[in-house]
Amino acid sequence: MNNLSLFKWTLSISICLALYSCSTTKENTLPNPKIQEGSTKLSGRITNHNPSDPEANRKLTLTVLQPVTSESYVSTSSVNEDGSFTFFEIPLQCNFAIGYLRPERNEYDKIYVCLTSGKEAKIDILYDKTRALFKVINQTDSFGLTSTDLSSISRVENEIDRYHSPKKTTVSIKTRDEFVHQAKIKINNQLKKIEKIDTLSENAKNFVANNLKIRSLDFPILDENYKVIMRATNLNAGNKDVEDFNPQDLDKKQYAFLKDFDLNNPQYLYSSAYRTVLQKILSNDTLNISSIGDRPIDQWTKEVKNSLSKLVGFDKGLFYDLLAVNSYTLQFDNELRPLSGKQEDNINNYFKDDKADIAKMLLRKNDEIVKLAAQRAPLVVNETPAVSKEKLMDAIVSKYKGKAVVVDLWVTWCPPYLGRMKEYASLRSELKDRNVVFVHITNNTSPQKLWEERIKWIGGEHYYLNQDEWKYIWNTFNEEDISKAFNGKNIPNTFNFEYIPTYLIFDTKGKLVEKYMSYRGNEIMKTTIEKLLP
């Protein structure tokens, strides 16, 4: 790149990112959350609920982010005959939080709810049966968001996520910095689109913009599979000579783009992507941040600041505290390894006074990890059977002849999956002496080194497939082939192989009898499995 091109490239990025700094003002933001242990209650009513209608929603699911322990709280409440529902004792890790409700009849729709520690939230909902969508009529203490905002933010975000400008790029990306640059251009175009949405309040626009920025940093900019994404971008641009495409990694100085994302912004505590960004920074090979181990947190943090402060643009604040927190949660998540006595002392010594709640949450999480580690099944890493790809699934399932087999198709880069795996682990432990085996299959989009770390705490039977093997399985388990397995009868609409994770459940004779997209919870999974057992 010559000096003139470099100047133009730098200038274009400066112009592109200028919008970031003016997109949010103090007058038009949600209240800044503060990390604080607490709880709340949510009650409400579906105003047009008809309990005699078979299409009525009889259950609602509430999800609330837990930003310290890097997970989500998920709870289900029954809807009473009069349409009322209540969620009791919702745990919060910040004084302000935003959760979302999903209706039973459309699990892909959601409405946002605003939660304040120690203060009951109340919400009135209208259910649009024709479109299977929720609409908020009223919510108390809504953080300045309107009922329309709460009803439509998730739909706006889905539309923004699908928005590309141009729809088909003509840019051929050859280097990682070009990849980052193009991602920033796309973010800028999406931010402009958000500014023009007249159905959202300014508070909601800024909430959506903050979510967009941190999610875009999470994916694709910091994604560990960026080379795969770059290859796909080039193919979309018509550059077919990319089979040997192997772009160089950025060097450390080129990560200065991090300062454009204001990573100390407490508004990010409302977004689940913030935790994954922090974890990707900690795991980034180029940034090369050493694990915290048994070192005192202030000593480790000083080293991290020396490495990152110029890249992120500051040397103190929320970001560094949460990096330390996530260094421990990575230990929990990647290894299922409890804290050592020294680590517990370090946490208590550093997170004290107004930060003492952080220590409480981490240590309580550690108690859960101790229990989960005791439940972990022995790890078995299997060689892929030496058969054609057409016979691969049969070969895997037949290895466990006489047992029910639950095949879990997963990838390392799916954070919701990793969160639900902890729940799944308790089910596997409960059924460990029964006639069932749990098999986990991933593919080469899961970096092998990361996969090897993750499966240590997952335990059980594992297979790592190449691209052709995975692609064949992906394409084979479509509706037509599932129809054959069910003799063409009573095929659920969910039998489309489109989502990760997907669960395939085989009976003791090796016949596929059920399939679930996403984890359906221990109760449903256990009921399905037990029907197959003697």
Residue 201 lies in a domain: no
Q: Using alpha carbons, select from 126, 134, 62 the residue that is nearest to residue 97.
A: 62
Identify the pLDDT of residue 223: 80
pLDDT confidence tier of residue 377, bands split at 50, 70 and 90: confident
Taking residues 289-305, report their average pLDDT: 97
Measured CA to CA, the distance from residue 286 to residue 274 in angstroms comes to 20
Whether residue 249 is predicted with pLDDT greater than 80 in this model: the reply is no
Measured CA to CA, the distance from residue 85 to residue 72 in angstroms comes to 21
| Least trusted range by pLDDT, from 58-67, 102-111, 241-250 | 241-250
Please write down the long-range contacts of 190-195, taking CB distance under 8 Å and 24 or more positions apart. 190/160, 190/163, 190/165, 190/216, 191/19, 191/20, 191/23, 192/19, 193/160, 193/163, 194/156, 194/160, 195/23
Q: Using alpha carbons, select from 146, 141, 134 the residue that is nearest to residue 101.
A: 134
| Least trusted range by pLDDT, from 111-120, 287-296, 328-337 | 328-337
What CATH number does residue 472 fall under? 3.40.30.10
Q: What is the mean pLDDT of the chain?
A: 85
Total number of domains constituting the chain: 2
Taking residues 198-227, report their average pLDDT: 90
What CATH number does residue 95 fall under? 2.60.40.1120
Tokens of 321: 């505290």
382 to 100, 291, 398, 449, 470: CA distances (angstroms): 39, 29, 14, 16, 15
- Domain-ending residue, one of 143, 172, 204: 143
| Least trusted range by pLDDT, from 109-118, 215-224, 304-313 | 215-224
Angle at which helices 176-195 and 147-162 pack, to 10 degrees? 150
Residue 373 lies in a domain: no
- Domain-ending residue, one of 122, 143, 164: 143
Identify the pLDDT of residue 491: 37
Other CB atoms within a 10 A radius of the CB of residue 266 amount to: 19
pLDDT confidence tier of residue 419, bands split at 50, 70 and 90: low
Taking residues 476-493, report their average pLDDT: 45
Residue 506 lies in a domain: yes
Q: Is the peptide bond before 166 cis (omega within 30 degrees of 0)?
A: yes
Residue 197 lies in a domain: no
Whether residue 453 is predicted with pLDDT greater than 70 in this model: the reply is yes
Which range scores top for mean pLDDT: 132-136, 175-179, 412-416?
132-136
Residue scoring higher pLDDT (248 or 188): 188
3-state helix, strand, coil in the chain (%, to 5): 45, 20, 35
The DSSP call for residue 89 is E
Identify the pLDDT of residue 497: 45
- Domain-ending residue, one of 86, 110, 143: 143
Residue 341 lies in a domain: no
Which residue type, as a one-letter code, is found at position 308?
L
Measured CA to CA, the distance from residue 243 to residue 226 in angstroms comes to 15
Identify the pLDDT of residue 166: 41
Domain that holds residue 449: 379-530
Residue 453 lies in a domain: yes
Residue 241 lies in a domain: no
H-helix or E-strand containing 317?
none
Taking residues 482-486, report their average pLDDT: 42
Residue 505 lies in a domain: yes
